[in-house]
Amino acid sequence: MNFDIIRCGRVILHVTDLEKSRAFYDALGFIETESDKENIFFRGLEEHNHHSIWLKKKNEANAEAIGYKVRAEEDLDHLEVFYKKQGMKVKWLEKGTQRALGRALRVQDVSGMPIEYYAEMETVDRMLQRYDVYKGAKVQRIDHFNCMVSDVEKAYNYYIDELGFACSEYTAGEEERIWAAWLHRKPSVHDVAFMNGPGPRLHHVGFWLKDPMSLIDGCDVLASMGYGPSIERGPGRHGLSNAFFLYLRDPDGHRIELYNGDYLTSDPDFKPIRWDLNDPMRQTFWGHEAPDSWFDEASRVLDVHSGRKIELTEPTLKKRKPTFVI
């Protein structure tokens, strides 16, 4: 492996009404870096890169791509060679074709998810100590992606064996088949999680908060502004990862997780934590169940070459509901 993937970096979402989306993400406490009639770029308070969410105005709500930051420009060239050797078609987006971004490489991954890699993004002022602009949930930074895929074991093996990710926790059932997995490049619980279900779809994007109270503040602000129905699940504590969580649906149904309190995974002798599929505490440590929408609904994803929606494939492991992933 001749490339260095650092972390999850940004998500590109299509939305149908920019003003409704702006009001929602502003209420959560994101910083609007810039915008025009067709686009809004948001970032968290501690982020020094131009954005971690790019909202594009379109006729239909979909997920265009999820992006990973790599260490250097050469990593992009190495990734191109890597994918082409496997017979996978890549797409280059040259510098200047996307706002604030240098060269980017896109590819449909082994599960069909639209993946982007980039090394360079325009930098902006961090707002970490601009406490005068803190509001809502005071979102700090992007933390992870969650992908619903038809074959979790296939994705798990590929990301670990081929892309150099490590596993922090996983859920296993009969015959030790993997139903869900949390994989990371940065030293936290995950940069990406894979959950079992009809896919490929983007289940949610997780954003880090500075403390659990920020999550409660976010709930209060959202409710006071009429966004109570947007709160889908939580607040609660995950058994998996031990993190405090809240799941929200934006005006187009894209799912956002507010997240705080997982743990360090940097030690080379760290051993992945196994959860049994039938352990109820894996879902929510406090015991309350997720709504059906949490298992059944997710954002459709696009083909990086044609721009059309990817057809869904039914999961290889069958169960009444897909297993829970954070």
Q: What is the pLDDT of residue 281?
A: 58
Q: What is the rounded CA–CA span in Å between residue 70 and residue 101?
A: 13
Q: What is the rounded CA–CA span in Å between residue 289 and residue 108?
A: 33
Task: From 89, 118, 147, give the residue that closes a domain.
Answer: 118
Q: What is the pLDDT of residue 319?
A: 61
Per the prediction, the chain carries an average pLDDT of 94
Q: Nearest Cα to 114, choosing from 89, 81, 82?
A: 89
- What pTM does this model have? 0.96
Same domain (yes/no): 142, 94 = no
Answer for the pair 320, 179: CB distance below 8 angstroms, yes or no: no
- Residue 192 pLDDT > 50: yes
pLDDT tens profile 42-52: 999 999 999 99
Instruction: Report the SS3 class of residue 306.
Output: coil
Same domain (yes/no): 71, 188 = no
pLDDT tens profile 209-254: 999 999 999 999 999 999 999 999 999 998 788 899 999 999 999 9
pLDDT grade for 285, boundaries at 50, 70 and 90: low
In this structure, the chain runs to a length of 326
Q: Nearest Cα to 148, choosing from 301, 22, 263, 286?
A: 301
At residue 175, what are phi and psi to the nearest 5 degrees? 60, 25
Domains in the chain, number: 2
pLDDT tens profile 130-152: 999 999 999 999 999 999 999 99
CA angle 175, 282, 216 (to 5 degrees): 160
Give the percent of the chain with pLDDT over 90.
87
Mean pLDDT of 285-310: 91
- Residue 326 pLDDT > 60: no
Residue 318 lies in a domain: no
Task: From 87, 118, 149, give the residue that closes a domain.
Answer: 118
Task: From 91, 118, 145, give the residue that closes a domain.
Answer: 118
Same domain (yes/no): 173, 255 = yes
Question: Distance from first CA to last CA of the chain, Å, rounded?
Answer: 28
Q: What is the CATH number of the domain that holds 259?
A: 3.10.180.10
Q: What is the pLDDT of residue 173?
A: 84
At residue 19, what are phi and psi to the nearest 5 degrees? -70, -40
Residue 274 lies in a domain: yes
- Residue 100 pLDDT > 60: yes
Same domain (yes/no): 106, 153 = no
